[in-house]
A and B are shown apart, each in its own frame.
Chain A
């Protein structure tokens, strides 16, 4: 009984932790380069969920497709799209690629626009100013969704057949959880390689370590910042779509709690450190799930934030905080 609870909560915690890690990377990327906490990032997660939902509806809703085909004759070939996208494993795969692709690109550009218009004019202002601007963007986006889309939660359609796979010992993992974990790990590995190996990735690291010196190398700082504001929100959007699929609905306020938890995860791992954000995300997800399993689900947030306080007291730099001694 005990072992199976631990096992099951580990599986759940890994799934949740993967989503936290995806969001936490956005906080840590932006902080590493701008030394600013992008409080609007939780809304990137929320927007990703909505964009994903609408894309999915477009692809799978027969009425929409039929109507579109009536207005736009060239769409008539799409008549059988719904069958294609949901009918087979391959179609489903293509469907997911489109849904996640659209969500990542749309929300990525949203992030770039937000940086351009809400943060860049404040680049030389006191540090509190962009922070307040970020909170403003967050409130704006939440209310925009509330006003223009819906104030109530919208159910997220079930596209993929979800069934549980027994792992033995009373522990099971659902196909959706596998999808979330695998996609998350692939994305994390891609980002890690990108930052460690590619020229642009190295330029991002250089910029985060010394912005002016990076400029002296010929690196265009504004492009690097824009790139960070594309990648972070794009990853957050993936987490948003997963959250929609996993919890079965989306709402305008869905970003708040995961946002603040992922920020916690980034701080636990050492804000500004990419691997720290990944570690912090998974650690937080697992601890929270274990707390929910053994204490009560009402205590999971208490435990999560208690961990944050402990880390801040005993390792203020975070678990993987910088330890390199910088000589003068």
Chain B
């Protein structure tokens, strides 16, 4: 479904991605793990069109999407839930969700999906009329995910969804990811919480300073000695 071919992305003179290649098949959960600055978020941003790769290409469903502006990539069904939530602070929860469905015009479908995300996150229904900026961090993350779901993504890319959240909320977020995947969404997940991410992922890629160090099924990576030492805090 998604094929990233040897992309190199620069921030000014600094080469943040030094040739990343990866693949996501339809129906999979794929995770990218790695330390701070390894290039995980940069990879997602390059796929979503926020950054343009200097070399290399990105294919989605057989068509090239690298070099397209963000909104065109979104139109293809590649939806990114950005790091740090990035919800619209001065818009209500409902309005945020409506923005998630910006490209859709099927009113009934939008309404159904809104009910669906409210069922997934009952807390959001309670706060439907509240401004996004007044929500707690966990609620904001739920809103960010719900907003992504509203776009009916073919590929949902989540950037650090567990960052800075209480363990209970983290668990809820991961459960939701698994549920979404079961109901047919393909997921590309970037996480610092490697243990949890690998536990739910079909396959994982380990990034280190802009290159892919290791790749394999999630369960295997979870057992891998190097991974356990470097990312799961074992000695």
Contacts and interface: CB of A to CB of B under 8 A. Distances in A.
Interface residues of A, number: 23
Contact of B102 (A205, A218, A324): A218
Interface stretch (B15-23, B81-89, B176-184, B185-193): B81-89
Given A216-B82, A324-B131, A209 B70 contact: no
20 contacts: A205-B91, A212-B82, A212-B86, A213-B86, A215-B49, A215-B50, A215-B70, A215-B71, A216-B70, A216-B74, A216-B86, A217-B71, A217-B100, A217-B102, A218-B103, A221-B71, A325-B134, A326-B133, A328-B137, A328-B164
Contacts, number: 84
Nearest to A196: B95
B209 to A, nearest CB: 25
Contacts of A210: 86, 88
Contact of A328 (B84, B99, B100, B131): B84
A217 B49 CA distance: 12
Contacts of B89: 209, 324, 326
A251 B140 CA distance: 53
Contact residue range for chain B? Answer: 20 to 34
A179 to B, nearest CB: 35
Contacts of A221: 70-71
Interface in A173-222: 199, 202-203, 205-206, 209-210, 212-221
A216 to B, nearest CB: 5
Interface centre among B71, B86, B87, B131 (most CB of A within 10 A): B71
A327 B49 CA distance: 27
B90 A322 contact: yes
Contact of A218 (B75, B88, B164): B75
B214 to A, nearest CB: 29
Contact of A324 (B69, B74, B90, B151): B90
B86 A219 contact: no
A327 B82 contact: no
B223 interface: no
A206 B151 contact: no
Listed from nearest, the 3 A-B pairs whose CB atoms lie closest are: A215-B70, A218-B74, A213-B86
A219 B135 contact: no
B8 to A, nearest CB: 20
Nearest to B131: A324
A168 B33 CA distance: 77
B88 A219 contact: no
Interface string A315-328: 00000001011111
Given A218-B103, A324-B89, 19 more contacts: A203-B99, A210-B88, A212-B50, A213-B82, A215-B49, A215-B50, A215-B74, A216-B82, A217-B71, A217-B99, A218-B71, A218-B74, A218-B75, A218-B102, A218-B151, A221-B71, A324-B133, A325-B134, A326-B89
A216 B137 CA distance: 20
B91 A206 contact: yes
